[in-house]
Amino acid sequence: MGYRENPRPGGRSARVQAAVHQSVRDMLSTMDRADVTIPLIAQRANVTPSTIYRRWGDLQELLADVAASRLQPDGAPPKIGSARDDLEAWVEQYADEMASGVGREMIRDVLSAADATNAERCSGYTQHQLCVLIARAKEYGEAFPTLVELMDHVISPIMYRVLFDQAPGTDYVRELIARAMPRDTSRT
């Protein structure tokens, strides 16, 4: 029972996890998602199906785990200029990524697992990136929205559209940000 949260790198367990994740990514990119099954994933990863079942439980949990890993940001948001510019650029790429076919499927995977851990992981990633931007604004002495304001009025609307409707465009993102900025900084 009980897999370590951070298996020692190089250990057998870590190798299996890597192989399975890789296998899932490959399959998702080459075939229809409805045809992705645990026995197939296992075969491609050179692993027994029962290993996957015991470790992840079912396909949804596995997909959620893989999706959450893929949603983990590469590094800090790029520095463009002002904190606001950085924010706009970062949110735009965030919205693009989420609105893309692949992004939507990853979010759906993360949300449809019974275990909420991976959903929280994703939300955590987003909040962490925003905190970096907030810290930058503080350093520069720029007026800036709080984390809660950004989550509620910039991230949430984007996510809702991605999940329920259609893609949020670039202009839309900029308007959300403008609306979230503190009054004295707001433009026309």
The token duo for 1 is 């029972």
Is 153 a residue that touches a copy of itself (CB under 8 A)?
A: yes
Give the interface segment with a copy of itself, choosing from 10-18, 19-27, 70-78, 155-163 (CB under 8 A): 155-163
Is 26 a residue that touches a copy of itself (CB under 8 A)?
A: no
Q: What per-residue string of b and e applies to 66-90 under the rule 16 or more CB within 10 Å gives b? A: bbbebbeeeeebeeeeebbebbbbb
Residue 151, contacted partner among DNA, a copy of itself, none, CB below 5-8 A by kind: a copy of itself
Size of the site for a copy of itself (CB under 8 A): 24
Eight-class DSSP state of 35: G
Is 115 a residue that touches DNA (CB under 7 A)?
A: no
List CB contacts of 22: < 8 A, sequence separation 6 or more.
Answer: 45
Applying CB under 8 A, among 24, 67, 87, 122 the residue interacting with a copy of itself is: 122
Closest CA to 119 of 60, 62, 56, 68: 68
Show contacts with DNA in window 18-77 (CB under 7 A): 37-40, 46-51, 53-55, 57-59
